[in-house]
Amino acid sequence: MSLSRLRVRLTLWYAATFTLILVLLGAGLFVAIGTQVSRRLDLSLAAATAAIVGATHDLENERAAGGAADAVEELHIPDRELYLFDANGGPLTPPNAEAWIVEAARAATTNGSADVQHVTGGSHERRLHAERFVGHSGTTYVAAAVADRPNIREQYASLIGIFGAAALAALLLVAAGGFMLARKSTIPVERSMEQMRRFMADAAHELRTPVTILRTRTELALAQPRDATGDTAAFQAIEREADRLGGIVGDLLTLARADAGERQVVRASLYLDDVVSQVVAAARALAERKGVALVVGSFEEAQISGDAGLVERLVLIVLDNAIKYTPEGGRVRLDVTARDGGRSVIVSDSGVGIPSDQLPRIFERFYRGESARTLAEGSGLGLPIARWIADLHGARISVASDATGTRVEIAFPAA
């Protein structure tokens, strides 16, 4: 339910964001168109008043003031009302004008020019431009031009309708696409949550066993009379389980720090053969105790760049698994090679092998196949840690296995 709500919320956020973008875009286009229309209208009105001024200048020397008015009457510009006023704002041509036009002419007489927008009944708007000028005879006039301001909504109604329909269709597509995108984007979250639940369940299962054994052995030891031999055996058993429990907790802490990126890596130039020799020395005792022959094959000088402690742990995990799952009398071979620009550690054993259907899952946390659970103890955290260390160093772990044994190769890039 939480993921479903998350998908719905993401879809709503996508749709709301897109709607906001469309609203801002539409408003911006509407304002831009209105501004452009107003600018063109003002330029047209200015040109009309300039035409009045020109007609008055041409005829003023031939006619009296009244005759000049006739020249304006002869001037005709489509969809424009033309007016000529005297210096006091009195209308000359035509002899009558609306009060707001006369008031604008008087303002132009005082200020030199005037631009007025007048709203009549309803939403009808008219635009006026007036300019004061002086004729060749020295007489002061005011030329004015009036035009209806186009109604953007009416003039572009079809365009607005098309834009609205397209916006609605786009919004529906965005909602559908947003839901699909939200669903797809939450799949990794769902997978991570499922892995986390499985991880917690597996961790609880792995920790419960040693904790139960510790509690049981402690209760038995406390219930029995004190005996040096019996107490020693009980304490040794408790110590083994405590070590096992501590190992699981340590591995969990390592993986948690790895996931959080808190593990500090000290990179330096080092020789893989030197690191492996230390691992062999530590693992030889384990092999002897298990009755497994540990053989060192090729041991070439191989320089890499990395964290010596982590590389040592990586090789030890692989080598320990090989020894752990090889029956008594078996053989484990380790090789270090430096060929074709690569550096590799190869561990091969004559153990029980890994079924082919289990190979893809061996690097999952807490995963252990049925044969692994019956043959040896473990928590299933070693190989995930090994994979993390390998990825950290740009190395690649490849595993091949059959009924005759398992071969693990760790390929490092050259230093």
Read off the pLDDT of residues 337-374 as tens digits, 9 standing for 90 and up.
888 778 899 999 988 888 888 888 888 776 766 666 66
Distance CA 267, CA 305 (A): 6
Distance CA 301, CA 97 (A): 106
Distance CA 379, CA 255 (A): 13
Return the pLDDT at 258. 66
Check whether 321 has a pLDDT greater than 60: yes
Is the Cβ–Cβ distance between 279 and 317 less than 8 Å? no
Within the chain, what is the greatest distance between any pair of CA atoms? 143
Task: Tell me the average pLDDT across 291-306.
Answer: 88
Query: 378 is written with which tokens?
Result: 């473990």
- Measured between alpha carbons, how far is residue 307 from residues 185, 301, 339, 342, 386 in Å? 35, 17, 22, 18, 13
Quick count: other Cβ atoms within 10 Å of Cβ 116? 18
Is the Cβ–Cβ distance between 144 and 108 less than 8 Å? yes
Fold of 186-260: Helix Hairpins (1.10.287)
Q: pLDDT-derived band of residue 68, with 50, 70 and 90 as boundaries?
A: very low
Return the pLDDT at 334. 92
Distance CA 7, CA 186 (A): 7
Under 8 Å CB-to-CB from 239, ≥6 apart: which residues?
A: none
Q: pLDDT-derived band of residue 378, with 50, 70 and 90 as boundaries?
A: low
Under 8 Å CB-to-CB from 26, ≥6 apart: which residues?
A: 163, 167
Task: Tell me the average pLDDT across 142-169.
Answer: 77
- Measured between alpha carbons, how far is residue 177 from residues 8, 10, 164, 168 in Å? 12, 11, 19, 14
Distance CA 95, CA 103 (A): 15
In tens, the pLDDT along 73-88 reads: 677 888 888 888 888 8
Query: 208 is written with which tokens?
Result: 């419960």
Quick count: other Cβ atoms within 10 Å of Cβ 27? 10
Q: What CATH number has the domain spanning 2-155?
A: 3.30.450.160
The residue among 299 and 263 whose pLDDT is bigger is: 299
Number of helical H runs and strand E runs in the chain = 10, 12
SS3 268: strand
Q: pLDDT-derived band of residue 64, with 50, 70 and 90 as boundaries?
A: low
Return the pLDDT at 286. 84
SS3 362: coil
DSSP letter at 77 equals -
Q: What is the mean pLDDT of the chain?
A: 80
Helix axes 157-223, 2-59, angle to 10 degrees: 150
Residues of the chain with CATH 3.30.565.10: 268-413
- What are the DSSP calls for 327-340, one per residue? PTT-EEEEEEEEET
Is the Cβ–Cβ distance between 15 and 117 less than 8 Å? no
Q: Is 236 exposed, middle or buried (0-12, 13-18, 19+ CB in 10 A)?
A: exposed
The residue among 403 and 259 whose pLDDT is bigger is: 403
In tens, the pLDDT along 114-141 reads: 988 888 766 678 889 999 998 877 888 8
Fold of 268-413: Heat Shock Protein 90 (3.30.565)
Q: Which of 349, 298, 341, 299 is nearest to 320 (CA)?
A: 349
Return the pLDDT at 61. 60
Distance CA 22, CA 27 (A): 8
In tens, the pLDDT along 193-246 reads: 776 776 676 666 566 666 776 777 777 777 777 777 766 777 777 777 677 677
Residues of the chain with CATH 1.10.287.130: 186-260
What residues pair up with 117 in beta bridges, in sequence order? 127
- What are the DSSP calls for 96-136, one per residue? ---HHHHHHHHHHHHHSEEEEEEE-STT-EEEEEEEEEE-T
In tens, the pLDDT along 245-293 reads: 776 677 677 767 666 666 667 788 888 888 888 888 888 888 888 899 9
